[in-house]
Amino acid sequence: MQFIVLRYRRVLKLIITCVLVLLGFLLLSGICSRVVGVYQDNIREVPIYSVDTKEKKLAISFDAAWGADYTPTLLKILEENNIKTTFFLTGIWVKEYPEMVKKIAAAGHELGNHSLTHPHCNALSEEEFLKELKENEELIYKLTKKRTRLFRPPFGEYNNTNIKACRKNGYEVIQWSVDSLDWQEIGVEAIVDRVVKNAHPGAIILFHNNAKYTPEALPIILKKLKAEGYKIVPVSELLIKGDYYIEKHTGVQKKA
C-alpha cells in the first residue's frame, strides 16, 4: 500500500512538473512573440538614397517648392542635352504654376510628389501625412493625367510611419546621395565641383528648380558627367525592379 502511495505521488509530481513546464513555455512564447512584434515595429525604415549598380548611370532630380523663374531655362538645357529627369513637385507650387507643371510633363520628365504644403512630416499623424500625399497626387493628376509614384520628404525628414504609409499607397520614398546645395547660392563653381566630385554609379543628385546658379552650373555638370561616361536617367529608371532590399545604414537599394 505504501509503495502504491509513493508511486502515485511520483506520477502526480511528474504531471505537475510537466504542466508547469508547458505553462512556462507558453508564457515565454507569448512574451517572445510580443518582443519580436515590438522589435519588428521599431526596425528603422529607410528611403532610397542611391542604387547599387555597376552601370555608369545616375539620376538628376529637381525639387520645386518656390518660384519658377529659372525653370524654363532648365527645361531648355535638358532638352538640348536630350536628358529626362525627375521633378518633385509640392502642391503649393503646382497651384501657383499649373502651366509650368504641364510643360514639365509635356517635355517628358518624370513627376514626383513632394507633399502638398512642404511640412515637417515627422510632426504629422499618419492621417495628416496621407492627406499631404494624396491631395498633391490628385492636383498633379488633374493637370497632367500622370500619377506620381515617387515621394521625396520635405527637408529630408522621414520616419517609419510615413515610409510605411507611402509603400502601402504604391510609393517609393526617395532621398539623394549627392546634394548640389544650390539653394544656398554657393556659386556656379562650387555647385559644379560638389556634384562632379561626388557623382557615382547609381547616384541620385539633388537640385532645385529655382536656385539662382543652377541654370549656369547645369550645362557644365552635364558636359562633365557625359565626358566621364555617365548616362543620366529619371529616378524611376535608375531604380531596381523586382525583389530588392534597402541597406539600413546607407540607404542603398540592392537586388535581393
- Where in the sequence numbering do the catalytic residues fall? 63, 208
According to DSSP, residue 182 is labeled: G
Nearest to 238 by CA among 92, 38, 2, 52: 52
Q: How far apart are CA 252 and CA 141, in angstroms?
A: 30
Q: How far apart are CA 158 and CA 162, in angstroms?
A: 6
C-alpha pair distances (Å), 229 with each of 200, 224, 225, 254, 256: 11, 9, 7, 22, 27
Q: Is 84 helix (H, G, I), strand (E, B) or coil?
A: coil
Cα 226–Cα 231–Cα 236 angle in degrees, nearest 5: 145
Q: Give yes or no for a contact between 204 and 49, defined as CB atoms under 8 angstroms apart.
A: yes
Q: How far apart are CA 70 and CA 130, in angstroms?
A: 31
Helix locations, 145-213, DSSP H: 160-168, 188-198
